[in-house]
């Protein structure tokens, strides 16, 4: 069996949910292109995400994020991992829903914290109390992520490849997204 993507699969969810890692594994399993909006923004700016936040501010980053997502959704069908804030903007949600299928990687706060606490690559967590910041973002954002087309739950015992398999199982319920061929 081989699978063909008819729409771009757009990974959404909190920082540390695994959008980048699982998105990459999913794209490999589907033999589809992998795109990551943060990586594209970094490439275009020739700066890291923290550098962009520091020099130009979050609102500038959000403008770039919107432009990059619009461009990537036009360019090719594949797996697009977004940054955690992207799905918060109604304009992005509308675009993602019309051109692709959104998949929320739903991980609980403990699991997210265990994955992000040792990293300093996320400017929104470069504050005196990063756990409080993450907790607030989590509670503010969960109702919005819940609007995604599909939800895949992440659990501590699962590997990145297990998660990619779970996403494929969810996509199999959507023949308008994933076409299975012999």
Ligand X SMILES: Nc1ncnc2c1ncn2[C@@H]1O[C@H](COP(=O)(O)OP(=O)(O)O)[C@@H](O)[C@H]1O
Our CB check for ligand X shows the closer of 5 and 12 to be 12
Whose CA is closest to 154, among 19, 27, 17? 17
Q: Which does 123 bind (CB under 5 to 8 A by kind): Mg ion, ligand X, ligand S3P, none?
A: ligand S3P
**Residue numbers 106-135 binding ligand X by CB under 6 A:** 115
Measured from the CB atom, is 64 or 174 closer to Mg ion? Answer: 64
Which residue ranges are tagged as binding site for substrate?
38, 62, 84, 141
Angle at the Cα of 174 (from 84 to 32), degrees rounded to 5?
A: 60
How far is the C-alpha of 71 from the C-alpha of 37, rounded, in Å?
Answer: 10
Quick one: 17 or 177, whose CB is closer to ligand X? 17
DSSP string, 10-56: EEE-STTSSHHHHHHHHHHHHT--EEEHHHHHHHHHTS-HHHHHHHH
Using the contact rule CB under 6 A, the part of the chain among 15-23, 46-54, 57-65, 91-99 near ligand X is: 15-23
Question: Least CB distance from residue 182 to ligand S3P, whole Å?
Answer: 36
Taking the complex as a whole, the smallest distance from the CB of residue 69 to Mg ion amounts, in Å, to: 13
Contacts of 141 (CB under 8 A, 6+ apart): 14, 84, 88
Could you tell me which of 113, 43, 58, 110 has the C-alpha nearest to residue 88?
A: 58
Q: Are 116 and 122 in contact (CB under 8 A)?
A: yes
Q: State which of positions 113-142 bind ligand S3P (CB under 6 A).
A: 122-124
By CB under 6 A, is residue 82 in contact with ligand X? no
Contacts with ligand S3P by CB under 6 A lie at: 15, 19-20, 38, 49, 83-85, 122-124
Contacts with ligand X by CB under 6 A lie at: 13, 15-22, 81, 115, 154, 158-160, 163
Contacts with Mg ion by CB under 5 A lie at: 19-20
């Amino acid at each position: 069996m081989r699978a063909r993507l008819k729409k771009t699969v757009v990974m959404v969810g909190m920082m540390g949910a695994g959008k980048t890692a699982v998105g990459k594994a999913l794209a490999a399993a589907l033999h589809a292109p992998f795109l990551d909006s943060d990586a594209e923004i970094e490439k275009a700016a020739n700066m890291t995400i923290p550098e962009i936040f520091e020099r130009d501010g979050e609102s500038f980053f959000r403008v770039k994020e919107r432009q990059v997502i619009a461009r990537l959704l036009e360019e090719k069908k594949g797996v697009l991992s977004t940054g955690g804030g992207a799905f918060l903007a109604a304009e992005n949600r509308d675009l993602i829903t019309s051109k692709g299928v959104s998949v929320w990687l739903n991980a609980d706060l403990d699991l997210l914290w265990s994955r992000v606490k040792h990293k300093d690559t996320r400017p929104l967590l470069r504050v005196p109390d990063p756990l409080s910041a993450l907790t607030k973002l989590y509670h503010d954002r969960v109702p919005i992520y819940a609007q995604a087309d599909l939800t895949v739950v992440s659990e501590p015992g699962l590997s990145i490849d297990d998660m990619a398999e779970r996403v494929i199982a969810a996509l199999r319920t959507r023949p308008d997204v994933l076409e299975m061929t012999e």
